[in-house]
Structure 1
Amino acid sequence: MSDATEAPLRLDGKYGAIVVCWILGLGALVSWNSMLTIGDYYYKLFPHYHPARVLTLVYQPFALVTMAILAHFESRIDTRRRNLTGFILFFLSTLALLVLDLATSGKGGIGNYIGICIIVAAFGVADAHVEGGLVGDLSFMSPEFIQSFLAGMAASGVLTSALRLISKAAFENSNNGLRKGVMLFLAISTLFEFVCIFLYAFFFPRLPIVKYYRAKAASEGSKTVSSDLAAAGIPTEASQGGEDGDKLQQRLSNKQLFFQNIDYALDLILIYVLTLSIFPGFLYENTGSHQLGSWYALVLIAMYNTCDFISRYIPLIKSLKLKSRRGLMLATMSRFLFIPAFYFTAKYGDQGWMIMLTSLLGLTNGYLTVCILTEAPKGYKGPEQNALGNLLVLCLLGGIFSGVALGWLWLIGNEQF
């Protein structure tokens, strides 16, 4: 295929693919963000169990271990089955959360709490399937697809925060209003997961630009796209040609890819260690009481999510995108100044300063994440880009898990702990 015929094919369906990637990104996190955003409900049911911290700590090990296994066997795992498994598990788990609350009539107790923890563990397994699978899949396509997917993930936080604020206002004065808002939340999340299953299974693989990139990856030796190509009506053998075996042997190993990109990997670990040591546990439990009352934590979560979402579009402006590997490392390290800033603001500052700090935390988190994940895969073949995408998501989840664990340090000296 000549460059002249490739050019229009690459553009055909591009904007449709960007929209679908955004929706899939939203589906990848909407269930978990719903859990975080209804934290005030769980604090009412389980006031002594630190739900924001415990549920996050349950979620992350399952996500991390599953992601490590999937990243190790990435070249042998069919991407289509992996992503569909993840979305179906998200759908069933979110539905189970809704059914559990209905079955127990919204009551607390250790049994109900354990049931929620089991469902949250399923969220972690689903996250590893979807996030790693889609970032790896999109890494050998246009960088705009990854940006749109990451923006969709952040949009899930904005959507859930907005719905939570609306539902709180709508049901605040009604009988059992908090629970009614939560039921609405979970029903909407379940619907979104079903939509994602449909889009990924039937619409996304048939877009011409997606077929082009997947056929190209297959011609470079990728085995992960076979089912997606078959779903699009493209024979895998035709796209791979006769050099498939040789090209697979020439692919860099995961170890080589990791050490060639160790700075990017370290950046992602440090970004999410810092962010998750503060968000959401510190914002729920360590910011004290202010004029906003029961709205305070919800406003902080909403501001973080909104700024995280906005910042993921900043790299689309070429002059504002940070490409320097040294610059990315310096920017990542400088974020650790947030630790003393949050400590002293929580102790001595008012709610306005805390809202500003939380907004900056979201802005830097989203911006740096997009810069790294769109720059790192450049210069590699399709199978290597897929593998590198999986490795970087593994590092991201490792950072999240470490941040969640370190977040408990904020409770040292806290009498309620």
Structure 2
Amino acid sequence: MTIDIGSNTPERLEGKYKAMAICWILGLGCLVSWNSMLTIGDYYGKLFKKYHPTRALTLVYESFALGTMAILAYNESRINTRRRNLAGYALFFASTLALILLDLATSGKGGLGPFLGICAIVVIFGVADAHVEGGMVGDLSFMCPEFMQSYLAGMAASGALTSALRLVTVAAFENHHNGLRNGVMLFLGICTFFEFLCILLYAYSFPKLPIVKYFRAKAASEGSKTVSADLAAAGIQTKPDQNVGEAMQKERLSNKQLFFQNIDYALDLFLIYVLTLSIFPGFLYEDTGHHQLGDTWYPLVLVASYNVCDLISRYIPLVESLKLESRKGLMIAILARFLLVPAFYFTAKYADQGWMITLTSFLGLTNGYLTVCVLTIAPKGYKGPEQNALGNILVFCLLGGIFAGVALDWLWLIGKQSF
């Protein structure tokens, strides 16, 4: 496949900051639907208390996200990235809207039937996440590291935004009849709008930016077949050269080779999210006791403190002197982070709410910082198709860590009468 990218360089092309802004919004759209589910855990916790919704729904979500991601990562080189990402955002939009319609249809009542309906919608969330997160990380892996950082910051911003919106809606409807439910409906409506916005931005704005066209044309010239539809949407027609294409396919490292060359990065992401999801959100909603903030505000404040600190920490690596690039240093920092498990246990048992909020904030700070460090360093030194493949592999490992963490989160319930 031969494409003339001329003498242009990324520094000479327009649209870098606009692309970063769009990447931020696209990152927000990747997780805003799921974070909306986590943030309204107080509402579902009252409707479906005996089903442990914050834990059960997270397990359902991650099971399907991981399974779908495994299929997509294996077939990454043959998948149309544009269709993959648009399908993912469309599924997010439809499923978030479906949550509103389901609640209206059941009049906000609990029971097994409505809970199973929510589980079915969460399955769609998981499938959509695998499409978007793997597709976008793979796509951005061969572009500027700043694009990846903006995308990851947007993902964290979805948590901070949903937490802020949830606090506002709870405060606004606290003294109203059926106020909790009304706040949830308004909250989900805003999230649905953001998903629709992501569809428009990815379909019409992002592919037409000069700097994005440059990186995609460069990837295509290196043998990538996943960017053809995006280039066509930007008005660039690719001309396949069979001899060049076959030569590049032979030179390209296999997924197995990429995995073993970057096994420490894969393990880094797995361990980061094993720890985070073994604590957040299930433990924070059900196992931190009763405090002065009350059952309504306390878990919301904990989740908000985590999300805000996760967002802030994803900008720290922009300062080069604060960015951790040592592979050995990353592994040591990630392993040391497991000391948070006994810290959370004893804090929940003996300390007051101030210590728990501080500890939860530190969990968010380390989660966001380490994630950005790994994903902006790992894809370096490869050609476009290999960077795309490695991005998908790393997201698969990240989701594997989330799934394992969600499963381990149930261990906090051992010995509890409600289990």
Class of the TM-score when normalised by the shorter of the 2 chains? over 0.9
2:5–2:218 contact (8 Å) kept in structure 1: no
1:25–1:149 contact (8 Å) kept in structure 2: yes
2:265 matched residue in structure 1: 264
1:15 matched residue in structure 2: 17
1-structure distance, mates of 2:10, 2:144: 13
Q: State the 1:241 CA deviation.
A: 8.8
Q: State the 1:6 CA deviation.
A: 2.4
Matches within 5 A, 1:17-416: 17-237=19-239, 243-293=244-294, 294-416=296-418
Matched letter for residue 376 of structure 1: A
1-structure distance, mates of 2:10, 2:360: 43
1-structure distance, mates of 2:191, 2:338: 33
Question: Percent identical across equivalent pairs?
Answer: 75
Q: State the 1:245 CA deviation.
A: 2.1
1:219–1:244 contact (8 Å) kept in structure 2: no
1:64–1:128 contact (8 Å) kept in structure 2: yes
SS of the residue aligned with 1:323? Answer: coil
Matched letter for residue 260 of structure 2: F
SS of the residue aligned with 2:28? Answer: helix
Matched letter for residue 249 of structure 2: L
SS of the residue aligned with 1:236? Answer: coil
Instruction: Mark the runs of 5 or more structure 1 residues left unpaired by the alignment.
Output: none
Superposition RMSD on alpha carbons, in Å?
1.2
2-structure distance, mates of 1:2, 1:169: 54
1:369-388 residue CA offsets vs partner (Å, 9 max, x unmatched): 00000000000000000000
2-structure distance, mates of 1:414, 1:86: 38
Q: State the 1:244 CA deviation.
A: 2.3
1:175-222 residue CA offsets vs partner (Å, 9 max, x unmatched): 100001100111011111100000000100000000000000000000
Q: State the 1:243 CA deviation.
A: 1.9
Structure 1 runs of 4+ with >3 Å offset = 1-5
Matched letter for residue 290 of structure 1: H
Matched letter for residue 24 of structure 1: L
Instruction: Mark the runs of 5 or more structure 2 residues left unpaired by the alignment.
Output: none
1:240-295 residue CA offsets vs partner (Å, 9 max, x unmatched): 79622211221000000000000000010000000000000000000000000020
1:6 corresponds to 2:14: no
Count residues in correspondence: 415
| TM-score normalised over the length of structure 2 | 0.97
1:106-165 residue CA offsets vs partner (Å, 9 max, x unmatched): 000100000000000100000000000000000000000000000000000000000000
2-structure distance, mates of 1:349, 1:158: 25
1-structure distance, mates of 2:208, 2:91: 23
Cα distance change of structure 1 residues 58 and 2 upon mapping to structure 2, 3 Å threshold: closer
Cα distance change of structure 1 residues 391 and 244 upon mapping to structure 2, 3 Å threshold: same
Matched letter for residue 257 of structure 1: L
1:307–1:359 contact (8 Å) kept in structure 2: yes
| TM-score normalised over the length of structure 1 | 0.98
1:32-68 residue CA offsets vs partner (Å, 9 max, x unmatched): 0000000000011111110000000110010000000
Q: State the 1:4 CA deviation.
A: 5.7
Cα distance change of structure 1 residues 415 and 65 upon mapping to structure 2, 3 Å threshold: same
1-structure distance, mates of 2:374, 2:90: 29
1-structure distance, mates of 2:171, 2:9: 52
1-structure distance, mates of 2:365, 2:9: 37
Matched letter for residue 280 of structure 1: P
1-structure distance, mates of 2:276, 2:38: 14
Q: State the 1:174 CA deviation.
A: 0.4
1-structure distance, mates of 2:310, 2:383: 30
Q: State the 1:2 CA deviation.
A: 8.7
2-structure distance, mates of 1:364, 1:3: 42
2-structure distance, mates of 1:414, 1:339: 18
Matched letter for residue 27 of structure 1: G
Cα distance change of structure 1 residues 375 and 8 upon mapping to structure 2, 3 Å threshold: closer
1:18–1:145 contact (8 Å) kept in structure 2: yes
1:135–1:393 contact (8 Å) kept in structure 2: yes
Matched letter for residue 250 of structure 1: E
2-structure distance, mates of 1:198, 1:77: 21
2-structure distance, mates of 1:234, 1:2: 11
1:289-332 residue CA offsets vs partner (Å, 9 max, x unmatched): 00000200000000000000000000000000000000000000
2-structure distance, mates of 1:414, 1:337: 23
1-structure distance, mates of 2:153, 2:239: 35
Q: State the 1:365 CA deviation.
A: 0.2
Matched letter for residue 391 of structure 2: G
1-structure distance, mates of 2:227, 2:164: 37
Matched letter for residue 6 of structure 1: T
Q: State the 1:416 CA deviation.
A: 1.8
Matched letter for residue 118 of structure 2: I
SS of the residue aligned with 1:48? Answer: helix
1-structure distance, mates of 2:279, 2:38: 13
2:142–2:215 contact (8 Å) kept in structure 1: yes
Q: State the 1:8 CA deviation.
A: 4.6
